[in-house]
Amino acid sequence: MSNELKQLLNYDPLNEAEKATGRSYKSDEFTSNLGMLNMIQNANKKEAILRLSRDSVFCNHLTDYLEIICEEGFEKVLELPFAGRSWNGETPPPETFYIFWHSCGILLAFDTFGTDKVNSGNFYYCIEKTAQNTEFYSAMESYGSTSDGYYEGHHDCREAIRFHIAELRKVGNFLNPWPKQPHLWLLHHMDTVGQGSGYKGIIAERISMLPAHVQEAIKGQAAS
């Protein structure tokens, strides 16, 4: 099931449609429609496998997502209510920005939309490579290498969070504490409204709200 899920997560529906027809989806309506059909079928298969394995799906109800990440070993370290986006002058819905911490060295941050749906977010980590390059890089999503021989990485936290963490554990060792604090995007979707370029101050404030043991773990050993 793990290999099948990996294939489904890496599936490119438009590319497969172009290979089948020999034409570009940008200029051929049939190829474009075939790509859309491929995408729907692939999404249905992915969701079925993820739900069967008690993993997160692309569109998560907040209650289900919180159960999954808590079962995975994450602890809530920040819960910050905020007013969401107002439509047509209506009262803004109550939303929440969350930060969770895993003792292996993973920081997870996400916000809600519509009060009870997971909107978007990432999990952040530093990792030491233990596998061959091909295996290691296929498990990563966004990352950067360092002169000290470890990697700073982050993943979209919505879909298949358990699967992605399990794949990373196969190819590396998570580091706690982090050797260096990477860039952390600890913002909810309303922080980006009318704030100009003042994101660094907001992020620093969010970090200061975390428990002491989490701040100590993520600040970087060089800052000790």
pTM (predicted TM-score): 0.90
Residues 68, 27, single domain; the answer is no
Beta bridge partners of 126: 152
Assigned domain for 81 exists: yes
Residue 222, SS3 per DSSP:
helix
As for how many domains the chain has, the answer is 2
Q: Is residue 219 part of a domain?
A: yes
Indicate the SS3 state at residue 189: coil
Pure H helices in the chain? 2-9, 13-21, 29-52, 62-71, 133-139, 161-171, 199-208, 212-218
What's the one-letter identity of residue 217? A
163 in a structural domain: yes
Q: Is 68 helix (H, G, I), strand (E, B) or coil?
A: helix
Domain ranges, residue 105: 62-223
Side chain identity at residue 97, one-letter code? F
**Which pLDDT does position 1 carry in this prediction?**
64
Residues 168 and 198 in one domain: yes
Contact call for residues 165 and 156 (beta carbons, < 8 A): no
- pLDDT for position 224: 44
- From CA 149, how far away is CA 136, in angstroms rounded? 14
Q: State whether 85 and 196 are in the same domain.
A: yes
pLDDT for 89: 83
Angle between helices 29-52 and 2-9 (to 10 degrees): 150
Residue 57 lies in a domain: no
Q: How far apart are CA 121 and CA 154, in angstroms?
A: 10
Residue 23 sits in the same domain as residue 81:
no
What are the 10-residue block averages of pLDDT along the chain, 224 residues in total?
86 94 94 95 95 95 98 98 90 96 98 97 96 93 86 96 97 96 94 74 96 96 57
- pLDDT value of position 86: 87
Asked whether residue 87 falls in the same domain as residue 125, the answer is: yes
